[in-house]
């Protein structure tokens, strides 16, 4: 968590503006979280999923005077998200505009394209804290079209289980209600430099994003439990996740 009076700058992010009379119903029917939460929060974390409930994109939704802004991964990922949203537009009275390269400033309570007052902290310091919390960073940690939200530790933070239907809702709800998530991202400290993302680590799992000597491993929960029982401070790979 970023301390008060401090902020981090994230370049190469994207922004998609969805405006018009049908903006609320359009988004509410397809994204994983509840837009009504914006009545009490300046932004919400949400995802767009495949009809089978697999991860496509995650983003931060905030209100504008005429609709909503989705802050997302930049470049090609922004273009892909805008294209997918357009496919769902059909007859909805909305406009969709994308900007694939913006800078976002993140504080303890907001995400904004405008620089805030305070002290800037290095991006790697923010990345370290993110990994320690077991939080994914979009497609750095997700396999697009394959990963589930339970695997990404997003099944609580970016999902509403009370708002009703959205694209992919059936699988997300079933995995949540039946506790079917067999693996997930685990925060890990390496004695040496972590391997590259996508490396299969024998007896542990699949390496995902890293920063310094910390990283996230997509790991079976049984493996996680057994490893924590036997590891010690001198272990080459030490699991930090709760």
Please give the angle made by the CA atoms of 202, 206 and 207, to the nearest 5 degrees: 105
| Average pLDDT of the segment spanning 3-9 | 87
Summarize the confidence of residues 132-141 as an average pLDDT: 96
Coil vs helix vs strand at 225: helix
Predicted confidence (pLDDT) at residue 2 exceeds the cutoff of 80 = no
* N-term to C-term CA, the chain: 16
Average pLDDT over residues 150-162: 95
CATH of region 7-178, choose from 1.20.1250.20, 2.40.30.210, 3.30.1360.120, 3.40.50.720: 3.30.1360.120
> Averaged over 174-193, what is the pLDDT?
91
Instruction: Tally Cβ neighbours within 10 Å of residue 110.
Output: 14
90 φψ region: left (φ > 0), alpha (ψ -120 to 50), beta (else): left
Confidence grade of residue 181 (pLDDT, cut at 50, 70, 90): confident
**Is the full-model pTM beyond 0.85?**
yes
In angstroms, the CA 199 to CA 107 distance is 33
**Do strands 95-106 and 67-73 pair parallel, antiparallel, or not at all (unpaired)?**
unpaired
Q: Return d(Cα 151, Cα 126) in angstroms, integer.
A: 22
Asked whether residue 75 carries a pLDDT value surpassing 70, the answer given is: yes
pLDDT at 242: 62
Listed by start position, the domains of the chain span 7-178, 183-239
């Amino acid at each position: 968590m970023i301390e008060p009076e401090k902020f981090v700058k994230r370049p190469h992010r994207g922004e998609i503006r969805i405006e018009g009379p049908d903006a609320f119903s359009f988004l509410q029917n397809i994204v994983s979280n509840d837009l009504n939460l914006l009545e009490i929060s300046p932004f919400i974390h949400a995802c767009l999923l495949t009809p089978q409930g697999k991860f496509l994109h995650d983003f931060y939704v905030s209100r504008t005077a005429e609709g909503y802004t989705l802050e997302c991964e930049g470049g090609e990922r922004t273009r892909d998200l805008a294209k997918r949203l357009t496919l769902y537009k059909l007859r909805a009275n909305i406009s969709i505009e994308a900007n694939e390269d913006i800078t976002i400033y993140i504080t303890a309570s907001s995400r904004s394209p405008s620089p805030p007052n305070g002290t800037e902290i290095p991006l790697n310091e923010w990345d370290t804290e993110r990994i320690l919390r077991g939080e994914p960073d979009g497609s750095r940690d997700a396999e697009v079209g394959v990963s589930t939200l339970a695997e990404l530790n997003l099944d609580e933070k970016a999902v509403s289980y009370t708002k009703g239907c959205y694209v992919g809702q059936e699988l997300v709800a079933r995995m949540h209600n039946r506790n079917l998530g067999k693996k997930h991202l685990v925060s890990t400290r390496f004695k040496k430099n972590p391997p590259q993302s996508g490396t299969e680590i024998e007896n542990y799992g699949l390496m995902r994003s890293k920063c310094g000597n910390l990283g996230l491993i997509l790991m079976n929960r049984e493996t996680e439990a057994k490893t924590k029982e036997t590891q010690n401070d001198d272990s080459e790979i030490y699991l930090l996740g709760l």
